[in-house]
Structure 1
């Protein structure tokens, strides 16, 4: 009852950039540039996959979903950070904080599941080539893609529902740059033990489940590749997986640092850097990795540029 009698917090203050004097001056333009590159880069990949019929395959179908998720993930955090830079006040209301956390957890869960589905797709293509068309037909791909979004939404709904029972009555300063479950649990007035247990259990299933699926898929993939006698065949098989492996390492590596690092022993600056890498830098790297390492994507991009050039030339002549 003592907790309930205190004034309830209606606004939170982010401390993530407090260690950088005049941070709004130095960070607004870099964050804006990163956000624009993230949106435009992922939008380019998404559009290319829709426009080029040669990219209408399961692998690129899931890549288009990944690009869309990365746009959403970046849009959950960066615009609010940019607005706060302009206002020179790193604050967020309670309702906005809960909404930001819901969508953040939802999109991160969806991305983890998508990466697992993409690993399974590579497994089916390399290990079961004769059955690939039936294993990954249009209906199966649609169901798998839909399941990844449901996976993320259910995971997020659980944490958001549990977070609604947390009471914030005193300290309203979040040692972070956006609303997420771990920093909110640290400043809650009431017991957050249930939330902590749920967070650890969910991380095993929502994070560990997809990661285990990816590892298992690549164990079978590696085994199949090693059986290929042709050096060219091995190189081609490896190249189809290379971009995905890099993205998986970046995503799960940063995710592990963000959610599984010890609660003590890290400075606010380190926490800010890890959080930035996880939800802001990773989405901008994904389109660069896929576009720079993927011949099909680069080929589709060239075709679009050539068609645009021909169209302009035709209009000029007319």
Structure 2
């Protein structure tokens, strides 16, 4: 320790140092970012302005869209900068901020997806009690609880990580500051950090995944009792993509956070991290909204109003 230099800033890593590939990676990330921002902003606008969509399902969807715009903004703009420019430096404070917001938004995303699965469960399996169970006050309370608990969760892991001493290499083998990559750089004992991350990942990600799976299991058992094949097909075509997105999200988190940091190949972790930091915000508008008939009808109404206003 006495002969080591304490780290005050970090260097993030690119997928490749070849200029052509760097440009390609930046373009892919930028297109996904713009697509995510435009898609989610459109959903927020439609669900806010169209009074027919002022119901719990679209209240959660609007919150998810706002969250996704914030979530992808934590990592992608900085990643595009390091892909295209020679400046790969991120300050200790900036790194801590990335860790905090990634943890906070990822946890909130899981909780929001769980709330949306519960909302669909009540709507399909208990339709007569829907308005009583999912009243506006309860929806707001559940949303605030999800956000506040995620902030506490993120604060704990951020503080636990940056309490450590960093006196080895300052090169973070990731395109954003991520806890498993940072633990490899610490000259402190990190076993307790790894255990706390593993346990919290099992509790939060595993618990949300189990809750969502349970909700959709009940939904499927109810859907199978529908009288016509067309109704069954419509319900399945809506629910299956939801489960697919959740599975990708949770499995990619598990692949990075639920294994010892010493057994983490660099490029593999960088690729997997894309599936929990960028892909869900990009896919959510497509999966949850633009395949939804009510959203499509609201979009058509908005376009007609816009056309009349221009005339």
Contact 2:125 2:219 in 1 (8 A): yes
How far does residue 263 in structure 1 lie from its aligned partner after superposition? 4.7
Q: Deviations over 1:218-251 (max 9, x none)?
A: 2222222223333344334334534432332332
Choose from 136, 142, 146 the match for 2:140.
142
Q: Which residue of 1 aligns with 2:106?
A: 108
How far does residue 37 in structure 1 lie from its aligned partner after superposition? 1.1
- Classify the secondary structure of the residue corresponding to 2:278: helix
Choose from 250, 272, 275 the match for 1:274.
272
In structure 2, runs of 5+ residues without a counterpart are none
Q: Which residue of 2 aligns with 1:259?
A: 257
Count of aligned residue pairs for this structure pair: 310
Show the 5 A alignment for 1:133-172.
Answer: 133-172=131-170
Contact 1:119 1:214 in 2 (8 A): yes
Q: Which residue of 1 aligns with 2:18?
A: 21
- Of the structure 1 ranges 7-16 and 255-264, higher mean CA displacement relative to structure 2 is found in 255-264
- Classify the secondary structure of the residue corresponding to 1:177: coil
2:242 is aligned with 1:223: no
How far does residue 29 in structure 1 lie from its aligned partner after superposition? 2.6
Distance 2:82 2:18 in 1: 15
Contact 1:16 1:269 in 2 (8 A): no
Distance 1:91 1:35 in 2: 21
Show the 5 A alignment for 1:17-96.
Answer: 17=15, 19-22=16-19, 23-96=21-94
- Classify the secondary structure of the residue corresponding to 1:223: helix
Contact 2:223 2:235 in 1 (8 A): yes
Distance 1:29 1:223 in 2: 43
How far does residue 217 in structure 1 lie from its aligned partner after superposition? 1.1
Choose from 263, 287, 290 the match for 2:288.
290
- The two structures, once aligned, show a CA RMSD in angstroms of 2.0
Normalised by the length of structure 2, the TM-score is 0.93
- Of the structure 1 ranges 131-140 and 201-210, higher mean CA displacement relative to structure 2 is found in 201-210
Distance 1:42 1:261, change over 3 A: farther
Q: Which residue of 1 aligns with 2:185?
A: 187
Q: Deviations over 1:102-157 (max 9, x none)?
A: 00000000000111111111111111111111000000111111111112111101
